Structure 1
């Protein structure tokens, strides 16, 4: 009888330990945009210091939203609202928890090097040939690309081709054009490290195709606030300034840089800011 009781007690202890271990695991989804890489790594490092095992899962934008909606991911910090990710949020708002903004003052649009003789999106209607009749874009599932397609329609830019790519291919094309002092138009957003490295300007958008100022938001799976309240509290408190984020984005672009290591160093160097997230 004692052996049976001991075995039962051991089984209960093991089950409790396994449940406890499971509760300490967090899966963060993100898109490999330079700003999302910074924010996600900073959040991951903060949670690690709180004792959590954190998995980072890179996904396309639509899949990132879907992963949180289905509970495959616990959260993400790359939801651009109210405009850029409006379609994703409208489709999944009943299946996710919009925790709130983590970065304010964000915006999207098209940009050119300051030496390019363009000031507005509508200039491309008559000067499209000067930039090869194309705008260099990022991944096709991004809200920025949907807004870019809307801009082409709104401004009647039938002469312009929107080129799919990624954050990396877009910035590589920009660097190449600037090195050769060639004109180029790229899709872009703030915060982004490119504004810290090169002299760029947004093209004016008088028709409002790209919307106004936005926030980058934290989104969690339904029920996270109940079964992982400590994690949810960190998500609720997690805020970044544009300046902090863009400086880290620029660091991550340095040769041989490690975003996770940079995040760990930033967390160690900014205990007061991190304490505000974990209080």
Structure 2
């Protein structure tokens, strides 16, 4: 009887072990993202939901746009919620799209382009051709990370609008905003690569320069992309990522808190706790 009892115990333990391995619980979910303020906000919210609601472990992979797409395509990352389409990341979609599963838009109504403070007497990218304006701007456009879709679009804009006297400065999202903030405080002219949603539009009076040649495209969407096979490997994680959608206003709430000094983890946690009903629709089995 003792042997039978011991054998039964082993069988029960084995069944529980197998059941545990078949769920997403305890598995590591690798999320790739670019260090844009918008993508930091969305990716950390996704991380918080995965960890607090689905008991998953999350590994955050901060990379440039190219490696982000490549990582999903080759399976070294499980997913990302940072694909700007149809224009900004068009080249990456063309290169990697066949090896990635597109779960659709998680946010509607984004925009990219060249941004200036509203106190500047300039309204179109074409106005940058004015020699006096070029001199006032030190013949420079302040950009972000090299390889970002908006940087490639801006290189094209400089060509298409015949702005050969201008140099596109490579930096980072944080450095770009720092330069913008310094110029804004001193009421100085500056032009930067900008996008919406972004907290800088809430903190400063800014405007997009008109783009008559439509180099930057119109309104965009941010899509969720996952590696092939994720649905079979981690069905709960896949279900959540497939249902994850929110608004620019909701994203801005997280961005503003981070900009005000909260860590991305704390800002995401606060937002998830305050929006339980919405979060529950993301993780429901229906």
Q: What band does the TM-score fall into relative to the shorter chain?
A: over 0.9
- The answer for the alignment partner of 1:80 in structure 2 is 84
CA contact (8 A) 2:24 2:54 kept: no
Match of 2:199 among 183, 193, 202: 193
Equivalences, count: 277
Q: TM-score, normalised by structure 2?
A: 0.91
Residue 67 (1) aligns with residue 83 (2): no
User: What residue number does 2:121 align with?
Assistant: 117
TM-score by length of 1: 0.93
Matches within 5 A, 1:1-80: 12=14, 16=18, 19-20=21-22, 24-48=27-51, 49-80=53-84
Residue 238 to residue 115, structure 1, CA distance change in 2 (3 Å): same
CA distance in 2, matches of 1:247, 1:15: 41
Structure 1 residue matching 2:188: 3-state secondary structure:
coil
Structure 2, gaps ≥5 residues long: none
Distance in 2, Cα, partners of 1:236 & 1:9: 36
CA–CA separation in structure 1 for the residues paired with 2:268 and 2:85: 25
Partner of 2:283: 278
Shift, 1:9, TM fit? 5.2
CA displacement at 1:16 relative to structure 2: 2.6
After superposition, the C-alpha distances for 1:79-107 in whole angstroms (9 at most, x for unaligned) are 00001001111011111101110110001
**Which 4+ stretches in 1 moved above 6 angstroms?**
2-8
Measured after TM superposition, the shift of residue 10 of structure 1 is 9.1
Report the equivalent of 2:135.
129
C-alpha RMSD of the superposition: 2.1
SS of equivalent residue, structure 1 residue 98: strand
| Cα distance in 2 for residues equivalent to 1:152 and 1:164 | 14
Structure 2: distance between partners of 1:161 and 1:138: 13
